[in-house]
């Protein structure tokens, strides 16, 4: 790994790496410059210089986006942390003497004259701040925490906010919905701020198209305490199949072997619905070909009606970190099993099965609710540590949940879950999904380009993951198989409108077909037709009010994929993908 060298006095360092490669190794290209920037002044100077040279500027942190949301050949690529911390494995935090203006956390009393609602605060977070830094800040002060988040701690807030990432729970929205102010450097190299609620519907989740974001201000919650009861449950009972659903023969054998009755399946269905309606956090994992699923749903201690917050008890003020630093915590067991000699020579099914065995062996299994693990919400949200050290491929769709007579139709969720399981068993001879099936349930969103927008009764955020040892063509075919399933449901809203499934912007979906259309065409014509028009209008209003034009903003910050989707422009140079998945 090459090191960075100082290039000017504005906190800008030139990294000598010639080729950009993302974390999942699905995209690579050669930028003309790769720069590490430590100051807002440095960002401004780089943008001004790029404007004179006619170059585009894109930012990338830990590079966890699998799709083509990055820059292209000849662009200027910037980052706000040392390149060694962002790209070298195993992950190491920036050195203690690393000083930067672009990483930091500050509680602010108000935003544009608006005070935070009771039980909340506003917190300005610099774009280069990592999830782990905010987690540690929350753990130390025990006052405020983000109410939901992505699981991974090795990610910057600039990186998780730009592609409209999400957490879990029907009460959650997207991270971009928490944004009350965003500050960015525009095409002229000037610092701009957006805090108007209507403008934020575009600017809070905008893929870097407005400019280089240097900070976001979020609405945080009062610190809560999670009561964790993660548990291993027999696969047929974790989320039972919809009535009349034909489960794979392997699952039928599980049911017969365990003598699971229709009465037990019905009770399991009721328990599943109860979890969904009562628990704060909602997540299920199935590691390929295991007989049990891992269920990670939990409640949060309720806030009082008066103050909308509560005082932590003396015991709660001294809770331990979660999951802690045990050598088997996080994904270390997965790193061990996949680094074994001749691992890649094993048949795909054995890789998947052994991976599942190793993972389930260390996943907590709390069968007695009285023995629930207490942890701060900010700790519980990041229950898997070390993910940065384990590269994988990941395809995720946001599937709308239908409603019936004003209530959530849970069969939509059950079907999405079991369609994925059926797809994985149908391909067991090659096992193209060798890591996990994961499902989180989330709410709606007010952000214009959020995949969850319009899903009034919630969203099934469901994904499949595999190792990089999987043949690329087998993984691509499997992505198509599950996409065919998850986009076929025709879920109806209360108004009779057909709800539209959409891919997670940051995950893998390039190259798939949706109902016979190339996915980009589907996004333009079906999934986001009205939303793209609304975004264009709001985009123009925001940049022109601040002295820029749409044309110069696109010329400075456009990404080829998003510019094509939103503005229907195709002349930009494409990213060279190492894998077309």
Q: What is the CATH number of the domain that holds 65?
A: 3.30.43.10
What is residue 3's predicted lDDT score, i.e. its pLDDT? Answer: 41
Q: Which residue has the higher pLDDT, 41 or 571?
A: 41
Q: Compute the residue count for the chain.
A: 581
Strand 517-518 relative to strand 513-514, pairing: antiparallel
Looking at the structure of the chain, the number of domains it has is 3
Reported confidence tier of residue 579, pLDDT bands at 50, 70, 90: very low
Do residues 145 and 138 touch, judged by C-beta distance below 8 A?
yes
Residue 68 and residue 169 in one domain: no
Count CA atoms within 13 Å of residue 408 on its CB side. 21
Residue 501 and residue 414 in one domain: yes
Q: In angstroms, rounded to a whole number, what is the distance separating the alpha carbons of residues 567 and 575?
A: 18
Average pLDDT, the chain: 91
Residue 229 and residue 218 in one domain: no
What is residue 462's predicted lDDT score, i.e. its pLDDT? Answer: 99
Residue 482 and residue 556 in one domain: no
Lowest mean pLDDT among 28-37, 305-314, 417-426: 305-314
Residue 396 and residue 508 in one domain: yes
Asked, for residue 24, whether it belongs to a domain, the answer is yes
Residue 216 and residue 230 in one domain: no
Q: What is the 3-state secondary structure (H, E, C) of 65-125?
A: CCCCCCCCCCCEEEECCCHHHHHCCCCCCCCCCCCCCCCCEEEECCECCECCCCCEEEEEE
What is residue 306's predicted lDDT score, i.e. its pLDDT? Answer: 42
pLDDT higher than 70, residue 327: no
Do residues 282 and 167 touch, judged by C-beta distance below 8 A?
no
Instruction: Kindly report, residue by residue over 224-233, the tens digit of the pLDDT.
Output: 999 999 999 9
Instruction: Kindly report, residue by residue over 497-553, the tens digit of the pLDDT.
Output: 889 999 999 999 999 999 999 999 999 999 999 999 999 999 999 999 999 999 999
Reported confidence tier of residue 273, pLDDT bands at 50, 70, 90: very high
DSSP state of 367: -
Asked, for residue 520, whether it belongs to a domain, the answer is no
Q: Which residue has the higher pLDDT, 470 or 490?
A: 470
Residue numbers of the domain that contains 458: 225-514
Instruction: Kindly report, residue by residue over 419-464, the tens digit of the pLDDT.
Output: 999 999 999 999 999 999 999 999 999 999 999 999 999 999 999 9
What is residue 9's predicted lDDT score, i.e. its pLDDT? Answer: 59
Reported confidence tier of residue 342, pLDDT bands at 50, 70, 90: confident
């Amino acid at each position: 790994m090459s090191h960075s060298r100082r290039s000017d006095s504005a906190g800008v360092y030139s990294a000598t790496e010639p080729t950009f490669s993302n974390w999942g190794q699905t995209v690579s290209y050669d930028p003309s410059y790769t720069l590490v920037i430590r100051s807002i002044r440095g960002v401004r100077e780089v943008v001004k210089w790029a404007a004179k040279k006619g170059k585009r500027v894109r930012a990338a942190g830990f590079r966890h986006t699998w799709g083509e949301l990055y820059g292209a050949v000849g662009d200027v690529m910037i980052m706000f942390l040392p390149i060694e911390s962002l790209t070298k494995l195993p992950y190491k935090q920036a050195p203690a003497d690393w000083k930067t203006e672009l990483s930091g956390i500050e509680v602010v009393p108000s935003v544009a004259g608006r005070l935070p609602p009771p039980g909340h605060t506003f917190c300005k977070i610099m774009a280069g701040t990592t999830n782990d830094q905010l987690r540690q800040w929350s753990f130390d002060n025990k006052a405020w925490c983000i109410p939901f988040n992505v699981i991974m701690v090795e990610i910057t807030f600039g990186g998780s906010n730009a592609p409209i990432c999400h957490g879990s729970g029907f009460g959650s929205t997207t991270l971009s919905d928490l944004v009350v102010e965003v500050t960015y450097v525009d095409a002229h190299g000037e610092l701009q701020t957006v805090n108007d609620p209507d403008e934020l519907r575009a600017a809070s989740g905008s893929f870097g198209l407005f400019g280089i974001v240097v900070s976001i201000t979020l609405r945080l919650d009062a610190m809560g305490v999670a009561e964790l009861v993660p548990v291993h449950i027999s696969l047929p009972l974790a989320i039972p199949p919809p009535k009349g659903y034909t489960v794979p023969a392997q699952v039928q054998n599980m049911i017969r072997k365990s003598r699971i009755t229709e009465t037990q399946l019905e009770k399991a269905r009721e328990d599943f619905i109860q979890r969904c309606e009562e628990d704060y956090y909602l997540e299920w994992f199935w590691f390929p070909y295991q007989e049990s699923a891992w269920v990670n749903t939990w409640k949060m201690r309720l806030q009082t009606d008066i103050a909308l917050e509560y005082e932590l008890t003396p015991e709660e003020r001294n809770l331990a970190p979660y999951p802690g630093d045990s050598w088997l915590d996080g994904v270390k067991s997965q790193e061990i099993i996949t680094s074994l000699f001749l691992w890649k020579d094993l048949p795909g099914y054995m890789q998947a099965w052994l991976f599942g065995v190793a993972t389930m062996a260390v996943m907590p299994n709390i069968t007695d609710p009285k023995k629930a693990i207490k942890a701060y919400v900010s700790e519980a949200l990041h229950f898997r540590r070390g993910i940065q050290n384990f590269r994988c491929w990941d395809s995720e769709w946001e599937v709308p949940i239908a409603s019936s007579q004003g209530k959530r139709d849970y069969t939509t969720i059950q079907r999405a879950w079991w369609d994925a399981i059926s797809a994985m068993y149908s391909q067991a001879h090659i096992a193209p999904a060798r890591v996990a099936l994961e499902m989180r349930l989330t709410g709606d969103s007010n952000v214009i380009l959020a995949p969850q927008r319009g899903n009034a009764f919630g969203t099934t955020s469901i994904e499949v993951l595999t190792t990089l040892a999987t043949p690329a063509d087998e993984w691509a075919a499997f992505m198509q198989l599950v996409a065919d399933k998850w986009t076929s449901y025709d879920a109806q809203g209360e108004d009779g409108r057909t709800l539209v499934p959409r891919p997670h912007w940051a995950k893998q979906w390039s190259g798939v077909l949706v109902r016979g259309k190339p996915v980009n065409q589907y996004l333009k014509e079906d999934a986001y037709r009205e939303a793209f028009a609304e975004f264009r209008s709001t985009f123009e209003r925001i940049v022109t009010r601040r002295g820029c034009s749409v044309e110069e903003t696109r010329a400075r910050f456009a990404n080829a994929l998003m510019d094509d989707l939103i503005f229907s422009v195709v002349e930009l140079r494409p990213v060279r993908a190492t894998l077309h998945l």
